[in-house]
Structure 1
Amino acid sequence: MKTCLKLFILFLMFSGTVWAEVEPVKVQVPETTAWIGQRVPFFVELRSAGSFAGAASFDLPQLPGSLLLNVGAPVMDTQIIEGQSWNLQVHEFALFSQKSGDLEIPKISVRFSRRDAFTGPAMEIQAEVPSWQVHIKRPPGTKSIPFLITTETLELSENWEPEPGPTQAGTIFKRTIVQQASGVSGMALVPAPVYAPDSVRVYSGQAETNDKLERGDFFGERRETLTYLLQKSGTVTLPEIRYVWWNPKTEQLQSLILPAVSLEVTPLSTVSMPGKIVSRYAWLWLLVLATGLVAIQWRRLAGWTTHFREFINPPQRSAARKLLQACRLHDAAIAEHAWSAWRNVQTTGFTPTAELSSSVLDLQRHLYGFKPTESWRGDSLAKAFSAQLDAASRHSRYTPVSILPLLNPGE
């Protein structure tokens, strides 16, 4: 009897030693080398001797110029580890980076609950996903492209409302651009540029992103609407928009182009009505005229006040001040709204610096990512934006530079 008891105690000690040696978390990285903008998949294994309880929680870090996403639902599996059967909960993640060189992914905190058997109380486990490194390569001939995606296929479509055609000053056109790419998250796709002549105001709305996982294949979609306000008459030409991406299979740059659009814009005209109708409604026009005369002085005063306010506080300066203030308060929603307002009043061909593009990408990832982060700090965006303003103040004239090079520069 004593011998059996000793053997049982030794068995428990041996089992405890085996369980202690098995790490609760393991990371698997199939590929440690990737192109800029290419999806880098990695997998996190959570281990339990019994069943899992509840959902796991990961504290994903914010990496400058990079996007880190949790993809899909976890997959359950079993594996023999140290001679015993363990239940596995495998979580898939995707990394997209716009920075070349060696990138270190720091340890990721994870919390989950597990049981020692299939029934009984659950124990909360707090662990860390081990850190790992990946080498990001920049494709040759792409140094002038601050934002580049890597995919084998990219589909591009656009829809106008109303359809482009002869129109009058003051008309508003809405242009919805949809990108669809394989192996790329919608948040990792390049934002639509806001190029337009000086006589056209362009407003960029908030992008809608959607990611799908079908039979192991990853598809991303980005949908955004540009609003064009035609301010002056004449012939207006909206320049073509070229989307360039790197094909990792052929190792070549490829592109798709949304063609340029020309519009004949006439001044606002007053349509004359037949004499009988005019005389019938003459009293109505007189009433409108009288009301206008009463209000004209007030409107003139209000107009002077508005012009004076815009003179001493231009929209560009106001938006910049709001953006910096939102960064100091770490308010992501206000910062994104202020950034859009500031971006919309920039000159044609404006291109942000790589640092500013990276910081804005971090902001958008926080707000619209597949699994948004819990916190955002505006320090890096404020620093990059201030540097952009300082650089602009040193140059009285800005020379537009396209962020997307030609496929055949020598031609």
Structure 2
Amino acid sequence: MNKTKSTARASALLKCWFTVLSAMVLLTSMPASATNLEQLISDGELKLNVEIKAQDVAVKQQVALDVEVLSTRPFKEELALPYLDIPNTVVKKDEQKVARSARTIEGTKWFTQKARYYLYPMQAGEFTVPELNIPVSVEFTSENVVEGVIQSQPINFTSQMPVSNIDTDALIVSPNVELSVSTDRPLTDEFEVGHAVTATYTLSVANSHMMLLPKINIPDISGVELYRKPAVKENVFNRLNKSNTATLKQQVTLILQEQGRVVLPKQTMTWWNTKTNQLESLTVEQQTLQVGDAKLLDSLSNTLGSSDGAQTLSNWLSQYWHYLIIAGVFLAGIARLIGNHFIDLKRYFVARQQLNTKKLNIQFCRHVEEKQYSKAVQTIYEITGRKTLSKGTLQLPLDSESNDIWKKLLKLGYAKTTEGSVSASLSVSLAEAKILLKAINDSPKTRRTPFSFNWNLN
């Protein structure tokens, strides 16, 4: 009996001991993460560095905000930057991967993770980077991971307008900028009306973001139809020097509508050089191309319009005078040759006109004999020189007999398209055809105008 009571009492004590032990383990494990994270920070084994390298910058100048977490224990998760909002500032996270490393400092091995924000103040004034709550995940022991948040202190920086009386949207702020233009074919080529050429303007701005790039304005050009494509912007990261370059490409296609000189106007942009702290200008000179065969005339026009035009023209004449003499002698010989053979040329063209008329007369009579009246009507129009074949619009002063024959011929020629039927006995005889031909050939409107040479040479 006593033995049974002793066993029961021992079992009860053992259960009580296990209960107390479990409660102690539970109580100590619940706040372990917070206590251990705070302990790591207080012991100097977990650090957060947030740094701005430049405290005083220009408006739109890039500000690098570095965030680095250091721990004597390995990180479980990769550093994730929280959302950051600063009024009147463009904030962008670095698109590159988080830099992870391990290094020894004063004999202690440290694991580091580093990421970066890029800040671009858009107006002058004082700015404050608020407290950053950076999530951290550290392997405290082989079986325990400590998670929590480490907080930074606010950081101030200032921004100033580099120059007054300038449009902020058009201002470029960078240590290095390039502006260029290229075309899909050389502008020295021979262009004609209807040809097209595409010009591409390229703007590259170091240490900037594509959101900050200004527009490239290309005005309308007289005698040219312009087709502007939407600007293409992108950020290009240079892995060698770990810097970002914002680029803009603006394409415009010129459809040439008129002959003459076409000028793509000069492009000028304002640039604040952060290396020298000076205001500079980016310039692409005007681009010129020639449409048509007016190169020589344009050259002479420019020569005569310049201040030393008379001297330049004199030099040109002294250089090419022998060519002018040869051209003058050649033209004089041509004119003399035409004058000597003018009568022969006149006779040739008159004989040719008479031969053509005779051929048409024979053709007309053959069509009448073969009762091909529609072709006969068409031949009459060719004889009179009319190209538009409207019914009954011969417009010649014919006598009544010839006019009746003409109307009968029209009726037969267009019998298939007129209303009603045409009598089978209705026809035009060869004699009637000759009467009509004689009346037409004798008409003043049908007689060929004698050939006369036009001295107004184009």
1:175 aligns with 199
Tell me, yes or no, if the aligned pair for 2:196 and 2:253 is still in contact at 8 Å.
Answer: yes
**Partner residue of 2:56 out of 27, 30, 33:** 33
Structure 2 vs 1, CA of residues 17 and 212 (structure 1 numbering), >3 Å: closer, same or farther? closer
Tell me, yes or no, if the aligned pair for 1:36 and 1:100 is still in contact at 8 Å.
Answer: yes
What are structure 1's unaligned runs of at least 5 residues? 1-8, 267-411
Identity %, equivalent residues? 17
2:219 aligns with 196
Secondary structure of the corresponding residue to residue 101 of structure 2:
strand
2:280 aligns with 254
Structure 2 vs 1, CA of residues 230 and 14 (structure 1 numbering), >3 Å: closer, same or farther? closer
Find the aligned partners of 1:189 and 1:110 in 2 and give their Cα distance: 28
Find the aligned partners of 1:15 and 1:157 in 2 and give their Cα distance: 58
Tell me, yes or no, if the aligned pair for 2:202 and 2:249 is still in contact at 8 Å.
Answer: yes
Tell me, yes or no, if the aligned pair for 1:180 and 1:219 is still in contact at 8 Å.
Answer: no
1:46 aligned onto 2:69: yes
**Which amino acid is the alignment partner of residue 247 of structure 2?**
R
Structure 2 vs 1, CA of residues 106 and 233 (structure 1 numbering), >3 Å: closer, same or farther? farther
1:94 aligned onto 2:118: yes
1:76 aligns with 101
Tell me, yes or no, if the aligned pair for 2:79 and 2:113 is still in contact at 8 Å.
Answer: no
Tell me, yes or no, if the aligned pair for 2:41 and 2:47 is still in contact at 8 Å.
Answer: no
**Which amino acid is the alignment partner of residue 96 of structure 1?**
Y
2:40 aligns with 19
TM-score, normalised to structure 1's length?
0.51
Structure 2 vs 1, CA of residues 227 and 185 (structure 1 numbering), >3 Å: closer, same or farther? same
Write out aligned runs for 1:190-339 (5 A).
190-197=213-220, 199-215=225-241, 218-230=243-255, 232-234=257-259, 235-265=261-291
Write out aligned runs for 1:83-162 (5 A).
86-108=110-132, 110-117=134-141, 119-127=142-150, 129-141=152-164, 143-162=166-185
Find the aligned partners of 2:150 and 2:254 in 1 and give their Cα distance: 54
Secondary structure of the corresponding residue to residue 87 of structure 1:
strand
What are structure 2's unaligned runs of at least 5 residues? 1-27, 293-458
Cα deviation 1:211-244 (Å, max 9, x = unaligned)? 21424x6251414141224374254322211233
Cα deviation 1:334-361 (Å, max 9, x = unaligned)? xxxxxxxxxxxxxxxxxxxxxxxxxxxx
TM-superposed CA distance for 1:192, in Å, is 4.4
Secondary structure of the corresponding residue to residue 19 of structure 1:
helix
Structure 2 vs 1, CA of residues 121 and 130 (structure 1 numbering), >3 Å: closer, same or farther? same
Structure 2 vs 1, CA of residues 68 and 34 (structure 1 numbering), >3 Å: closer, same or farther? same
Cα deviation 1:27-59 (Å, max 9, x = unaligned)? 112222111232212211223341112422223
Find the aligned partners of 2:196 and 2:48 in 1 and give their Cα distance: 55
The structure with the larger Rg is: 2
CA RMSD of aligned residues (A): 3.9
Structure 2 vs 1, CA of residues 139 and 121 (structure 1 numbering), >3 Å: closer, same or farther? same
Secondary structure of the corresponding residue to residue 275 of structure 2:
coil
TM-superposed CA distance for 1:106, in Å, is 3.7
Q: Which sits farther off after the overlay, 15-24 or 61-70?
A: 15-24
Structure 2 vs 1, CA of residues 128 and 143 (structure 1 numbering), >3 Å: closer, same or farther? farther
Structure 2 vs 1, CA of residues 77 and 30 (structure 1 numbering), >3 Å: closer, same or farther? farther
**Which amino acid is the alignment partner of residue 249 of structure 2?**
E
Structure 2 vs 1, CA of residues 112 and 169 (structure 1 numbering), >3 Å: closer, same or farther? farther
**Which amino acid is the alignment partner of residue 101 of structure 2?**
M
Find the aligned partners of 2:288 and 2:54 in 1 and give their Cα distance: 47
Find the aligned partners of 2:165 and 2:128 in 1 and give their Cα distance: 23
Find the aligned partners of 1:230 and 1:25 in 2 and give their Cα distance: 60
**Which amino acid is the alignment partner of residue 157 of structure 1?**
S
Higher RCO structure (Cα 8 Å, ≥6 apart): 1
1:310 aligns with none
Secondary structure of the corresponding residue to residue 250 of structure 1:
coil
TM-superposed CA distance for 1:135, in Å, is 0.6
The size of the alignment, in residue pairs, is 253
Tell me, yes or no, if the aligned pair for 1:36 and 1:98 is still in contact at 8 Å.
Answer: yes
Q: Which sits farther off after the overlay, 245-254 or 137-146?
A: 137-146
TM-superposed CA distance for 1:101, in Å, is 1.2
Structure 2 vs 1, CA of residues 146 and 14 (structure 1 numbering), >3 Å: closer, same or farther? closer
Structure 2 vs 1, CA of residues 40 and 149 (structure 1 numbering), >3 Å: closer, same or farther? same
TM-superposed CA distance for 1:87, in Å, is 2.9
**Which amino acid is the alignment partner of residue 269 of structure 2?**
Y
Structure 2 vs 1, CA of residues 110 and 265 (structure 1 numbering), >3 Å: closer, same or farther? farther
TM-superposed CA distance for 1:75, in Å, is 4.6
Find the aligned partners of 2:37 and 2:232 in 1 and give their Cα distance: 54
Secondary structure of the corresponding residue to residue 238 of structure 2:
strand
Tell me, yes or no, if the aligned pair for 1:36 and 1:149 is still in contact at 8 Å.
Answer: no
Secondary structure of the corresponding residue to residue 180 of structure 2:
strand
Structure 2 vs 1, CA of residues 16 and 218 (structure 1 numbering), >3 Å: closer, same or farther? closer
